[in-house]
Homo-oligomer: A and B are copies of this chain.
């Protein structure tokens, strides 16, 4: 929230935030999400429960992914609009996944991502909110595609394509996590898209 005019302040804040989240994921994985209270997390991180809420608005936000949404919307807006909708969205999803998993410096980042994914998949509350985040992402994708919203049929068409693509992405994430991240996530997404929409609609060489 607050504007950081100081680097030292921002660094400290970022560090406590990182520590809180790291301890949270560890405890959630060890004892389970529901069996771990926010107070437990705060004690483990050496702060008060209030500080946890200052950095993460809800307990769920300790686990959920954050940057992914903006990444996808950017790529959508930057893509040429001559391709069919599904291919355009699908490519943005694949490229974003490449940035996410490949851009992370080392294996530790991937393990952290995997741990969060596993929690999201197995905990109903987390899974629900994560799916709702995808719904919000769907809205921003539709916005990024630049709809005039004059014709309700056009809106329905775009909304349907976007939601179907995102659901497929979620399925690919689940399968990737259940495979313990052995395969390549972008490949997984491409395969899932091809399965849902047909090979031709998502052919990377098209």
Contacts and interface: CB of A to CB of B under 8 A. Distances in A.
Contacts of A167: 163-164, 166-167
Contacts of A160: 168, 171-172, 192-193, 195-196
Contacts of A132: 124, 127-128, 131
Contacts of A175: 152, 155-156, 159
A188 B171 CA distance: 24
Contact of A131 (B131, B152, B159, B197): B131
A205 interface: no
Give the secondary structure class of A's interface. Answer: helix
A125 to B, nearest CB: 8
Interface in A155-179: 155-161, 163-168, 170-172, 174-175, 179
A86 interface: yes
11 contacts: A131-B135, A153-B191, A155-B175, A156-B175, A156-B188, A156-B191, A156-B192, A160-B168, A160-B195, A164-B168, A164-B197
